């Protein structure tokens, strides 16, 4: 019987290598920045509301920060925490740390004091690079952490006097000195622009990417320089989502592994241009696409829907947008949504971005553009093996069509969780990352993600995956988004409670939804309780935080 990998390779794009290729060699990504800066020094690397940074400027700016860190005693292997929004300062700090072999600790800009304190303490970071508008959060807890130095900046440091796009209120906050911190602009003005002389190896630790903490406290997944290089290479040479001609729109948070890969790492390898925005606003997004002729976009399905439903959508020319990879957070991508997107963009392709997780440096699957399917995550990426195992017997591989635990084996798999050997042993077994996610393969070798096993709902003994019910509910014409959680029940153990956001201008009752659901899904999947809401609690990565919804 053919393996899943053999079956999926039948859907592999014709003429595309099945192994990752490295256009400028197998070297760390910071070396790619240096080489791209020599190759095309005046090409734009970043556009930020009209402020532009060339490859030479990005390379030199990151050199200046890297040399400053060295002067301050930061050495290879030390952790450098980034507490930043989507802004050019992130790219500069990211590559500065990597140029001296330091380990990045990206922290969510949505963090409150206790969350930030935990990650700074757990990682042992002694350097924090942040924005002045976020510093009040850090200030309250710094004395309880190992942090010895703080580098701060203001968003206006990298904004033009006359921004080319509408800016948000936080971008209008003017700069003011922060005692006890070092101004990033002083470093960029006075620092040494020559490349630091630190030998960085591909097997060096590059990143502590903290997981969302679905099981206990967040854990730092240890990822190497090679992991970042390899996954960037697969974007260019296998999935071919990014090319040297790419103009990418970066709205997805770049502290998150998916946003980082798609808009910080892979574009540098390709020598592409990134249009950077600090957050999602539908009209500003459309203005950016039109003005800068954006041809690639990493989105979430709610973003896509928000753009399509915007009353001014027809007033913008979005025809430059050829490819959008989207993530089914809150709304599942369907063929109907993709068709609507093609109409809006005059032929633009919209496909599911991938399946992946922090522990594998994400992007473990991709959807071949010559054989697009919906409501699946795609086929296994280059040099990556994905299998489905029995949750109760991890030695038992399950055949196509059966649901079980997704396990991933690939060159970018993490080294383990930082200082957590027991958690590592539970997840990393003989090189395989056992994900705790439920999935199945179809007859063409495409992976379907069905949800987290720990989020599985047991209704009268039947297993119900929240994502499946959410997908079915969103097929109702009046439902824009749905989120599903378990509600304790004395007779059935658990029943389903659904939180519903209706389509603009639509009205529907709970009884009407339940009647419709009984006709369109198994009886045990029908929500017993329905609550209408205006919004869902969301993570910094754009995922619905079901744990914050009240049963």
- CATH code, residues 456-548: 3.30.300.30
Q: What integer pLDDT is reported at residue 463 of this predicted model?
A: 65
**So where are the chain's domains?**
53-200, 456-548
What was the pLDDT predicted at 321? 98
Other CB atoms within 10 A of residue 397 CB: 15
- Looking at domain 53-200, does it have CATH number 3.40.50.980? yes
Q: Which pairing describes strands 247-250 and 273-276: parallel, antiparallel, or unpaired?
A: parallel
Q: Please give the pLDDT value at position 440.
A: 96
Question: What distance in Å separates the CA atoms of residue 365 and residue 265, rounded to the nearest whole number?
Answer: 18
Tell me the per-residue pLDDT of 298-337, one tens digit each, with 9 for 90 and over. Answer: 999 989 999 999 999 999 999 999 999 999 876 889 999 9
User: Do residues 350 and 337 lie in contact, with contact meaning Cβ atoms separated by under 8 Å?
Assistant: yes
C-alpha span between 94 and 366 (Å, rounded): 26
As a residue count, the chain comes to 551
Q: For the chain, percent helix, then strand, then coil, each to nearest 5?
A: 30, 25, 45
pLDDT of residue 402: 95
pLDDT of residue 229: 98
What is the model's pTM? 0.86
- Contact by Cβ (8 Å): 480, 305: yes
Instruction: Give 95-110 as a DSSP string.
Output: HHHHHTT-EEEEE-TT
Host H or E run for residue 421: helix 421-427
List average pLDDT for each run of 10 residues in the chain, which is 551 residues long: 87 96 98 98 98 98 98 98 98 98 95 90 98 96 97 98 97 94 98 97 97 66 98 96 97 94 98 97 98 96 94 97 91 93 98 95 97 96 96 93 96 97 94 94 95 77 76 91 90 89 95 92 88 89 82 83
pLDDT at 213: 42
| 8 Å CB contact between 356 and 258 | yes
Q: Are 13 and 240 in contact (CB under 8 A)?
A: yes
Q: Report the C-alpha gap between 179 and 70 in whole angstroms.
A: 22
Unique residue bearing structure tokens 């809150």: 330
Q: β-strands 447-452, 432-441: how paired?
A: antiparallel
SS (H, E, C) 325-386: EEECCCCCCCHHHHHHHHHHCCCCEEEECCCCCHHHCCCCEECCCCCCCCCCCEEECCCCEE
Classify residue 308 as exposed, middle or buried by CB count within 10 Å of its CB (0-12, 13-18, 19+).
Answer: middle
Q: Provide the H-helix boundaries in 155-294.
A: 184-190, 225-237, 257-260, 266-270, 282-292
Instruction: Tell me the per-residue pLDDT of 343-352, one tens digit each, with 9 for 90 and over.
Output: 999 999 999 9
pLDDT of residue 378: 97
pLDDT of residue 542: 74
Angle between helices 510-520 and 466-473 (to 10 degrees): 110
Would you list the DSSP string of 137-161? HHHTTGGGS---EEEEE-GGGGS-S
């Amino acid at each position: 019987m053919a393996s899943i990998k053999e079956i999926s390779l039948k859907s592999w794009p014709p003429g595309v290598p099945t192994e990752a290729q490295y256009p400028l060699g197998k070297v760390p990504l910071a070396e790619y920045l240096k080489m791209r800066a020599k190759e095309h020094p005046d090409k734009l690397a970043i556009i930020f509301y009209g402020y532009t940074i060339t490859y030479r400027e990005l390379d030199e700016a990151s050199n200046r920060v890297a040399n400053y860190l060295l002067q301050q005693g930061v050495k290879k292997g030390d952790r450098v925490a980034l507490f930043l929004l989507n802004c050019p300062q992130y790219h500069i700090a990211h590559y500065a740390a990597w140029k001296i072999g330091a380990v990045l600790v990206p922290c969510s800009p949505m963090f409150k004091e206790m969350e930030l304190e935990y990650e700074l303490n757990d990682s042992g970071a002694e350097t924090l690079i942040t924005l002045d508008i976020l510093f009040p959060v850090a200030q309250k807890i710094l004395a309880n952490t190992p942090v010895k130095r703080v580098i701060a900046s203001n968003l206006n440091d990298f904004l033009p006097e006359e921004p080319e796009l509408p800016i948000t209120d936080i971008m209008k906050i003017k700069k003011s000195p922060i005692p006890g911190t070092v101004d990033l602009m002083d470093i960029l003005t006075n620092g040494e622009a020559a490349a630091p002389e630190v030998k960085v190896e591909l097997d060096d630790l590059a990143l502590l990417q903290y997981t969302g903490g679905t099981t206990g406290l967040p854990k730092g997944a240890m990822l190497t320089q090679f992991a970042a290089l390899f996954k960037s290479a697969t974007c260019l040479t296998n999935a071919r989502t990014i090319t040297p001609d790419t103009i990418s729109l970066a709205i997805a948070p770049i502290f998150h592994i998916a946003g980082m890969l798609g808009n910080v790492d892979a574009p540098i390898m390709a020598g592409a241009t990134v249009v950077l925005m600090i957050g999602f606003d539908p009209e500003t997004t459309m203005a950016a696409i039109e003005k800068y002729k954006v041809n690639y976009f990493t989105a979430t399905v709610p973003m896509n829907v928000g753009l399509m439903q915007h009353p001014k959508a027809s007033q913008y020319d979005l025809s430059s947008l050829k490819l959008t990879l989207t993530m089914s957070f809150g709304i599942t991508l369907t063929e109907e949504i993709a068709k609507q997107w093609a109409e809006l963009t005059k032929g633009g392709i919209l496909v599911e971005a991938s399946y992946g997780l922090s522990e594998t440096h994400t992007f473990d699957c991709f959807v071949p553009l010559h054989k697009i399917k919906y409501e699946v995550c795609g086929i296994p990426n280059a040099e990556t093996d994905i299998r489905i195992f029995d949750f109760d017997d991890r030695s038992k591989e399950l055949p196509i069509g059966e649901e079980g635990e997704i396990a991933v084996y690939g060159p970018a798999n993490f080294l383990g969780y930082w200082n957590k050997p027991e958690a590592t042993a539970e997840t990393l077994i003989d090189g395989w990352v056992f994900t705790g996610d439920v999935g199945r393969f179809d007859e063409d070798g495409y992976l379907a993600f069905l949800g987290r096993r720990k989020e599985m709902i047991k209704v009268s003994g039947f297993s119900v995956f929240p994502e499946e019910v959410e997908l079915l509910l969103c097929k109702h014409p009046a439902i824009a988004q749905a989120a599903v959680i378990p509600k304790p029940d004395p007779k059935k153990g658990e029943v389903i409670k659904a939180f519903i956001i209706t389509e603009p201008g639509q009205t529907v009752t709970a009884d009407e939804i339940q009647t419709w659901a009984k006709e369109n899904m198994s009886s045990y999947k029908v929500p017993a309780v329905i609550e209408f809401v205006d919004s869902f609690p969301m993570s910094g990565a754009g995922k619905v935080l079901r744990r914050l919804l009240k049963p």
